[in-house]
Amino acid sequence: MKIYMNNDYLQQKYMQKLRWYHFKLGFRQFIVCPALLILFIPVIILTAFIWLNMDSAIATVDMPQLFEQFWSIMCKFFGVFIPALLSIGIISGVGSLVARKDESLIQSMFAVTELRKGNPILIFKGKDKRRGYITREFYTLIPFEEWKKKQDAICDAFNEHIIGELHHGGKHNDNSNRIIIVTAKGRIAKDKGNIYDDDI
């Protein structure tokens, strides 16, 4: 996914939001689909290996008594830090995989000039299995009116039709930087009127 930003500060801020929202998106996938927890098996094995060998690793390093406690604390810190870092990476990676296709399709809807402040970021995706509705929420700095203009193109890209209207997200549906799209599978053909004259 290309990022069309020429300001280092804005790009850094955008990347922080991207990582945070993808982490939240990934975390939700583990709640919705607990089977994904299997991805943590290598982390669990590594964590067990580190802690089972912690005492011997501390003892093998010969250093002045003054630094022994510091070395012990450092080893235990990395025994927690490394598994935590790997876990965050796994969760964020799942979120990025879930978001990749939708973000790429949405990005292709807008011109480069509209993406100068950052590409839309998928922050929520859920499916109502009973009704067949798919809800997507994007973080974006692109004006709401521009999204409405692209409504038909978005439907074509997803091969879905929009339920109701695009609207703002947030706790009270009043956050201008969040756009919610509710869709269902398949396009609905527009009524083009009768092709043939019934009187002929």
In a domain, 191, yes or no: no
In a domain, 193, yes or no: no
pLDDT band of residue 6 (cuts 50, 70, 90) is low
In a domain, 197, yes or no: no
CB 186 within 8 A of CB 151: no
In a domain, 141, yes or no: yes
In a domain, 1, yes or no: no
pTM confidence score: 0.82
In a domain, 146, yes or no: yes
- Count how many domains the chain has: 1
In a domain, 190, yes or no: no
pLDDT band of residue 90 (cuts 50, 70, 90) is very high
Q: How many CB atoms lie within 10 A of CB 85?
A: 12
Domain assignment of residue 101, given as a range: 8-185
In a domain, 3, yes or no: no
State how far the alpha carbon of 85 is from the alpha carbons of 51, 53, 71, 77, in Å.
16, 20, 21, 12
Region 20-48 average pLDDT: 95
Residues 101, 157: Cα–Cα separation, whole Å: 11
Is the pLDDT confidence value at 54 over 70?
Answer: yes
**pLDDT value, residue 2:** 56
Region 158-162 average pLDDT: 91
Is the pLDDT confidence value at 114 over 80?
Answer: yes
CB 183 within 8 A of CB 162: yes
